[in-house]
């Protein structure tokens, strides 16, 4: 039976009530980057299959992959790869029951975020 005195409060915490924390945001971002990497991998597989199919089909795929949108997808995929790798290392550390305290977990989260950006920029500079 519903409580008529509950007023205008939500049934459970949601984004209007709950303030996201670094650890929750980085955890969600780990899942998003993992799924985004699947999309990027499919794009690369499409490009490789097109290369083995014929010139006309390869021209279409290559035009897409080398377009500004394809370049953006590849750049973000490079960042996602570094982010997902560092987040995986963070989870391996947590699996060993280390750095679980908030005062240690939060800097570890920042290390994942900052490290992924630094490694992406470094990779672009080296590969350019």
**Which domains occur in the chain, in start order?**
22-127 (1.20.1300.10)
Per-residue pLDDT tens for 30-49?
999 999 999 999 999 999 99
Place of tokens 């980085």: 26
Per-residue pLDDT tens for 66-82?
999 999 999 999 999 99
On whether 84 is known to bind a ligand per the annotation, the reply is yes
16-25 residues labelled b (16+ CB within 10 A) or e (exposed): eeeeeebeee
pTM: 0.80
């Amino acid at each position: 039976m519903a409580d008529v005195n509950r007023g205008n409060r939500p049934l459970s915490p949601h984004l209007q009530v709950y303030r996201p924390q670094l650890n929750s945001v980085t955890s969600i971002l780990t899942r998003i980057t993992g799924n985004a990497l699947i999309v990027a991998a499919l794009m690369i597989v499409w490009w490789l299959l097109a290369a083995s199919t014929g010139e006309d089909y390869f021209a279409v795929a290559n035009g897409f992959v080398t377009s500004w949108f394809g370049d953006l997808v590849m750049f973000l995929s490079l960042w996602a790869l570094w982010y997902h790798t560092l987040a995986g290392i963070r989870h391996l550390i947590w699996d060993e029951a280390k750095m679980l305290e908030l005062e240690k977990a939060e800097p570890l989260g920042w290390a994942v975020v900052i490290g992924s950006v630094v490694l992406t920029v470094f990779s672009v500079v080296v590969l350019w």
